[in-house]
Chains A and B, each alone.
Chain A
Amino acid sequence: MRVVIAEDAAMMREGLVRLLTDRGFEVCAAVADAETLRSAVAAFEPDVAVVDIRMPPTHTDEGLRAAIDVRRDHPGVGVLVFSQYVETRYATRLLADRPTGVGYLLKDRVADVADFVDALTRVASGGTALDPEVVGHLMRAGRDTVGLASLTAREREVLSLMAEGRSNAGIAAALVITPGVVEKHVANIFAKLGLPPSEGDNRRVLAVLRHLGT
């Protein structure tokens, strides 16, 4: 899988290159600012781009804006936005047009290499990876709505993992339950929230996020 990395802190950038190369990714380019990212994506058409939000010259949200541009101009390129803090508003902007091939993770997540690589792979193949932190915000914001309040604790856990973009198998592994049980929970959640049953992880995530108000 081919990756472009945009990260201004040299230390972090080199670490990511090393980690991803080690895991069998092909790092086409590792750049330090949003402008170079745009041209690198245009030049290499990678499967996925890892993008830091704060980059030169203004150190505000140029990474996020570049990520949105990349998603618009290169629909085939997955974008994993990668930041030291997560803002629900940023997630909303990122997911605005379509929640596919997109991810938004805290940089801390890189410490769990397997999870990180899993999320990156998911994004590269058109899936979603939302940071648990963002999902947590959304869940808290919606906790008083009738639908969420009627869920059991277990169902809420399953809902969170769904919103993060995980597949049934991923949810089963995370909660140490069988995929069959997960399926049952998912069906219950959709029924309680009044969502139409959706096939496929992506449409499911979309439904869940819509419900959570993203």
Chain B
Amino acid sequence: MTALRAPFTIPALRQAVFCVIGVVSAVAILAAPALVPALGALVLWATGGTSRQLAPAVAPLFLVLFPLTVALLVVLAAPIGRAAGNVHRRLAYRLLGVRVDAPPPRPSNRIGALVADGPGWRAVGYGLLKVPLAVPQGYGAFCYLFGVVDLSYPLWWPLFRNHPPGTRLGPVWALTPFGPLGARTFAGTFLISAAGLAMLLVAPWLMRAGTAADLAAMRWLLGPRRLAERVRELQASRARAIDDAATMMRRLERDLHDGAQVRLATLAMNLGMATEKLGAEGPPPDLAQARELVALAHRGAKEALVDLRDLVRGIHPPVLDNGLGDALATLATGSAVPVGTTVDLPERPAPAIETIAYFCAAELLANATKHSRASRVDLGVAGSGERLRLTVVDDGVGGADPEGPGLTGLTRRIAVVDGRMRVHSPAGGPTRVEIDLPTHA
């Protein structure tokens, strides 16, 4: 029964759509290699190479332009592969309900990174594999579509074959995988109809085989890197996390040593001196100096408190306990540049993520204040499901360098939780930095 029902289910229909798109993509991919000679011909034609009188400049020009075209294709292959891979992953999710995780993003948009983009080239590999994969898919889709058509032949027969008796007509042809089948009589259409039914029953299995192979290829070539690479990546990010923690502890020690500790030692010294000036009993031997020393100590105590408060805030801002919204609002009020904040979080992210997002926002805000000459900064946090996006936009002069020490520091920090950062900062501004974090590390 299941086998009989299989062709008439929604999944079968979706599979058919997937298979048809697969065939179209395969044809497009097959056409792509033709692009190189076509572009070459175009160049030749544009430079006048096809005219009878060859201009003396044509040959060298062609020699330069043709390799350039090939080089362009090499540079563009990986990004195009990535884009096409994205489309196919989305199709797999929409039509087949199978989620294939996205590969890690390209580290940067420089030419070197474009060409050396491993996931991009693997996506190109998927594109090439798509051609043989499309064969069973196309076969399945063909059986499915023409199965329906062939099955319905007896219905159409009376509509078109109502000529007066004795009229001689050619046979009606139907397409089957075994070649065209002709029918001259109403009874003959039932043979076609039977063939159609057989095709329809076989089609879901063919399509299933085609899509299953395709999905395996997607997981292999379009998914995140292979396990070994992922392990290397995790090792690197773990090493960075340990380094960062050690650096932070060292910085903390230094800050305490040079800040609060010195202030408190000096304060104790001043109080010690003041105590001596006040004497053990009786009238103080040097009241004026004692007063001065106490005043000094008082000031020192207040400074030590400020130092400690700044330090504590640097470790973990207490307001963060109330959530990212309050913390960012506090951060905004403390900024020299006007800051607008919008926080849209359906639920609270993990505390570690909140802390990372907060410090990223603080750092980016400090950058904007220091370097961008911005007159306004907008901080935005939006959450959707498992991801959280922090956006910092300023109207300053732009030119922020994603490879600079500040931003690479942030990248390192967020990489620990598989976060990603995108920087758009053309010279002249504005600057837009987006940071993508998981809501739970």
Contact = CB atoms under 8 A, between A and B. Distances in A.
Contact of A59 (B254, B262, B269, B300): B254
B272 A111 contact: yes
A108 B265 contact: yes
A22 B269 CA distance: 13
- Looking at chain B's contact residues, the main secondary structure is helix
A11 interface: yes
Nearest to A114: B276
A15 interface: yes
A187 to B, nearest CB: 34
A22 B266 contact: no
Contacts of B261: 84, 107
A97 to B, nearest CB: 29
A15 B258 contact: no
A111 B263 contact: no
Contacts of A18: 273
A120 to B, nearest CB: 13
Interface in A1-48: 9, 11-12, 15-16, 18-19, 22
A12 B273 contact: no
Most chain B C-beta atoms within 10 Å of own C-beta, residue among A18, A54, A113: A113
A110 interface: yes
A199 interface: no
Contacts of A9: 258, 262, 266
A111 B276 CA distance: 11
Contacts of A108: 265, 268
- Looking at chain A's contact residues, the main secondary structure is helix
A15 B300 CA distance: 12
Nearest to B263: A11
A12 B257 contact: no
Contacts of A144: none
A9 B263 CA distance: 9
Contacts of B271: 111
B276 A12 contact: no
B273 A113 contact: yes
A12 B262 contact: yes
Nearest to A14: B266
A84 B265 contact: yes
Nearest to B286: A22
Contact of A15 (B254, B257, B266, B275): B266
B270 interface: yes
Contacts of A15: 266, 269-270
Interface string A76-97: 0000000010000000000000
Contacts of B270: 15
Most chain B C-beta atoms within 10 Å of own C-beta, residue among A22, A54, A111: A111
Interface string B255-299: 001100111011011111101100000000000000000000000
Nearest to A16: B269
Nearest to A83: B257
B272 A107 contact: no
Nearest to B296: A15
B273 A22 contact: yes
B272 A11 contact: no
A19 B269 contact: yes
A54 B270 CA distance: 22
Given A22-B273, A84-B257, A110 B262 contact: no
A179 B272 CA distance: 28
A111 B267 CA distance: 8
Given A108-B268, A110-B268, A111-B268, A19 B273 contact: yes
Interface of B: 254, 257-258, 261-263, 265-266, 268-273, 275-276, 300
12 contacts: A9-B258, A11-B262, A11-B300, A22-B273, A59-B254, A107-B261, A108-B265, A108-B268, A111-B265, A111-B268, A113-B272, A113-B273
Given A12-B265, A108-B265, 4 more contacts: A9-B266, A15-B270, A108-B268, A112-B272
